[in-house]
Structure 1
Amino acid sequence: MDTQNISARPHAQSRNGGENHPSRRTRAHTRSGGVIHDNARHTTRFTVIGNHLAQHAELSLLAIGLGVHIQSLPTGALIDIRTLAARFPEGKTRIAAALRELEAHGYLRRTCERTSSGRVVTRTVSCNQPGRSGATDGPEPKPRPERPARREGEPPRRALPAVPQPAYPAPDLLRSAFEVLAGLRRGDPRLLLSAAEVEHLTPGVAAWLERDLPPSAVHHALTADLPSEPLHRPAALLAHRLAAQLPPVPPFRAREAPSDAVRHPLHNCETCDRAFRGPEPGTCGGCRPRTP
């Protein structure tokens, strides 16, 4: 009974000791509590997404999901705030903030252009790999410099609060808003803003100016009653004021008639007996003789 079958072939041994065996991998992941992937190969209706976006260390979860959604859309699809807010339940404010995150990290490029008919439109370009553009309508951009690694214990940089958006971002309106922000530091040196912060706050100031407010009124609203202690994040404070203190849209007012307009009394024409207005009685315009 203890005779071995020497004619049986020995079991094949893997070169790495069976580390790639599915059952062993599953047991190992189950013990550690990690994710287990049940993947199937896609052959149709799929989009290649880089891990630099899906696992981005600084983007919010909403920005990552919105970036993946935008990269999966066909060319020409609408990705404005109103269209995305109708598609997703997050609302215009959170979607606008997520778009600004993607733009700040190079996944979106938005520029205002004027068409041949004079209308200003926003051109949006989605980049699936920032710093390495495959577009042929311009020179290839230089690679973005890598940020230094965050030290252990150092708090991550928080995104600025969302600001209101103007209904019609005309170039003159945005230029006036930029001048308001650039002039804040003249009254208070603590309100020195970076170029990125000014770009983030400009639409919010434009939304105030769009409500028939002069630049001096916006300047006063942003600088009045500031705390006396040092401002660690002045751009965040300004963004909060732009959103929390946004004035309402002024009511529509019909153009009034000039106050100095003279309203003549009614008279009956002495020829046809029709009523007409005039300073004195006589004949109406139809019966009045015309001079050659």
Structure 2
Amino acid sequence: MDTKQNTALLRALARVPAPLPDRGVIHVVIPHTDRFTVVGNHLAQNAGLSTTAVGFAVRIQSLPQGTEVGVKALAARFPEGEKLIAAALRELEAHGYLQRARTRLPNGRIVTRTVFCNQPAALLRPRGAAALPQQAPVAPQVTAPVPAPAPAPALAPAPARGPALAPAPKPEHHAPEAPAPEAPAPEAPVPEAPVPEAPAPEAPAPEASVPQDHAPFVPLVPPPTAPKSPRPPLPRPRELTPELERISAALLSDLHHHSPEFTLSEEHVHRLVPGVAAWLERDTHPDTIRHALTTNAPEPVKYPYQFVKHRLTALLPPPPHRTTVTPFQTCDGCERAFRAPTPGHCRDCRTGHAHEDQQAAA
């Protein structure tokens, strides 16, 4: 007697319209008014997806915009492990429900954006496919008025009544006298057959315009094998001196002491040395290079070599602006200091020597 029984479901079952099935599930459908998510049968009954993948698709679809849906974020929110969640996300990505893309922000940080589509098959349909079924009923609507003049011949059965069979021949005798031609006069609306002819050209007109508007069909989602623009090469110095090579190799080998995620192999250090040397050649301090390579890095850094190479290329500082200064010289005649690229006489001494040469020539 202490066992509590919930009879609410039984009462709701009593309201289900009969007949009820003898076996299998019986649905008690109560319309939702708030906090619900619409899920298509193409997902719920997809035989190619595991139950775990379908469950996580529903969970991701029910989350608000901007919620983190990575493997670690979902593992912290739900009881499943990271391996099971990662396998489910790969299934959804293979079936087009999920797409993950790496994007670089204006500050140079690389983030992964996750896009979830609740109906991926709809993205591959032509844009005008939804409009075609709406225009198809237009033709029957135009032809509907055509039966309207048909009731006119319906008046013919009226004189064909049984008791009127005897008087019927009487008008035939009087037909030549008078309004025999008047009978075709009311039948003049019958030749209004051009009325259906007017809509006839209208029906093909939208059909011809539809392929013109949507002839160049382009899928909304780019194919996964779309060509990518080539990456810029790693910068190189004008002259890779032994000193620049030594300092660059030491800086790259020491990165893991400041951030353990930036552990580079010996081969990767050898490949990245010219890029660091190009920074050093532009009067960049080693601490500045280290800060530019490791600050605001994504967590975790899966490919440190590619990440360091990208930042060395994308964040390369401009070359320093050097101004040429003319050195001071000592005049050979008056020992006065003056600016000139080579030793010699100052302007006054050159003017005096020129005047003396003119007088001597005179």
Structure number having the greater helix percentage: 2
Largest Rg, 1 or 2 = 2
Task: Give TM class, smaller chain.
Answer: 0.3 to 0.5
TM-score normalized by the length of structure 2: 0.31
